[in-house]
Structure 1
Amino acid sequence: MQRLFYFRVMTITIREYRSNDLTELTRLFNETVAEGNSLLDEKAVTADQLSARIEHQEAATCVALIGDTLCGAYLVKQNLKGRGSHVANATYIVNRNYRGRGIGYALGKHSIERAKVLGFKAMQFNSVVSSNTTAIRLWERLGFKRLATIPDGFRLPMVLLLIRMSSI
């Protein structure tokens, strides 16, 4: 029996966040919070609260678009201040209807390159939920190394991942 596979070609555009993205980004962020398995937030945020988070970051917020549809985003920031300020941290969200299409990979790749341009020497994820195996595989594919698992760190076990920019 012959199997035919059809792939729909799509273009993912990643660009800087703009203020007119806020409504859709807030909706996407709150949907991800409600899923309860990736973001640390427990409650939905208002557009003003999310805007304040974005505006107070010292690094970059970018969105992923397919056509005119906002389907994902990332925020790269310092993981720590002072002597730890050379290490980045990031938050990612992908619309559940667009998962499995390479958007997370594209956002991850873009954010690593962006972090390098911003002068970061490494990127560390402090809270990847261990049951989010798709995310863990994605980050390992992009070169991150698992450093530890924190039992009950998210009220579920959490994985700590690190990538050194010089290794990619």
Structure 2
Amino acid sequence: MSTPSGGSDQTRRDIQQTRAELGETVAALTAKTDVKTRARTKATTAVGGLRGRVTEAGQSAKTRATQLARTVSQKASQRVTSVRQKSQHTIGAVRGSAEAGVQTTGKAESSVVTSARAVTTKIGSSVRTRPIPVLAVTGTAATLAVITYRRRRAR
């Protein structure tokens, strides 16, 4: 009796193993023929990959933008410093020129005043000797002196 019962146990195990293999095969075939699930799986995988790429691209763009902003800021700061130095130098030069011009103008004015006094003295002595022609020349000279003085001041 051990043979029939031993054979039937073996047969039962073979049947169970065959059923298990058939179940796995059916599940695999079902998975292959389930288009909806396969499409969802592919879509989920693709979306995950795209999200990763988008995140990576965003971080890369952010890093690059930060670097560019720093570079632009540094260059702008350098340009501002350069322009500030040049403008200060120019302002100093203009002030120096203006001061020199004021000093020169002051000297010219004092020499004009001295010359005018000398001419006035000469004219005074000439007027006493020949009053009418000297007054005409003196008036003309005085008018020319005033016009010249005003033109210099207007510049």
Structure with the higher strand share, 1 or 2: 1
Higher RCO structure (Cα 8 Å, ≥6 apart): 1
Structure with the higher helix share, 1 or 2: 2
Instruction: Place the TM-score, normalised by the shorter chain, in its bin.
Output: under 0.3
Whose Rg is larger?
A: 2
TM-score for the superposition, normalised by structure 2: 0.16
